[in-house]
Structure 1
C-alpha cells in the first residue's frame, strides 16, 4: 500500500509540473461574433474513416482577413458538432485483392472529393458497396 501511495504522489507531482509548463505557454483568447478565425477540422469518409493528413493537406478551414481591402469568400463546408466534415466519394480508381490469413479481401481505391481537391484511400469493397452504391452500379 505504501508503494501505491508513493506512485500516486509521484504521478500527481508530474501532472502538476506538466500543467504548469502548459499554463506558462498558453495564450488566453476570446472571440466575438463576426471575428474571422481558422477552425481545425478533420475530413471523414462516409464509412466513418478519417482521411489521413498529408504534408500539404490543409488542416484548417475558414479565412482570416488581415487587410480589409481584399476579401476572400469563406469555405462552404457543413461541419458536425465534433468539427469533422463528411467527404464524398467521386469514383473508384483501382481494384485489388489482399490475402490475409487465407482469406481474400477485395479492396477498391476510392477518390474522395474535398474542398481543397481530391484524396484517395483503399477501402474494403463490401463496406463501400453498403455506404456508397452509386459508383458500383
Structure 2
C-alpha cells in the first residue's frame, strides 16, 4: 500500500522481488530473525543495566529516622501545603515497626493523625543527622516593651546593583 516497500520478518525486500518458495527464502528469514533477536537482546541488556545502576536496595531498621515523601494528590491537602511550592519531603520521623518486606510504620505527630502511618519504602529517604547543621540558640534580651535590639557585627561585602533608573547599594552583614 502507498507505494512503500514491504518490510516483514519473512522478507526484507521490495514487494515485486519476493519469491515465496525455495530454501533461499527460509535461510534469509532465519538469518533475519537471528539478527532481530540479537538486537532485541542487546537493547534489553542495555536498558536492564541502566535500571540496575539507578536502583538502590534500601533497608531500614526499627528506630531509624527517615524523611517522608509527599505524594501530591490532586485536591487533597494532608500536609498543609499544595501546589508547586510545597515541600517534597517533610521532617524526619522515627520508624517504629517493619510491616512486610517493603512497608514501614512511622511514629507520626498528632497533627497527621488523619494520615495512615504505614508507608512504602519508596516514600522514605534516610535522615542523616549532622550536628554542624544545628545552630545553638543565642541569648536574646527582650526590652520591657517586647522589642529587642539588633547589633551590627561586621560588614562582609557590598555592591551596587544598577537598575534602569536608579542604583541600589546591597550590603552583606554578619
Give the TM-score taking structure 1 as reference length.
0.33
Larger strand proportion, structure 1 or 2? 1
Give the TM-score taking structure 2 as reference length.
0.28
Structure possessing the higher radius of gyration over alpha carbons: 2
Structure with the bigger RCO (C-alpha within 8 Å, sep 6+) is: 1
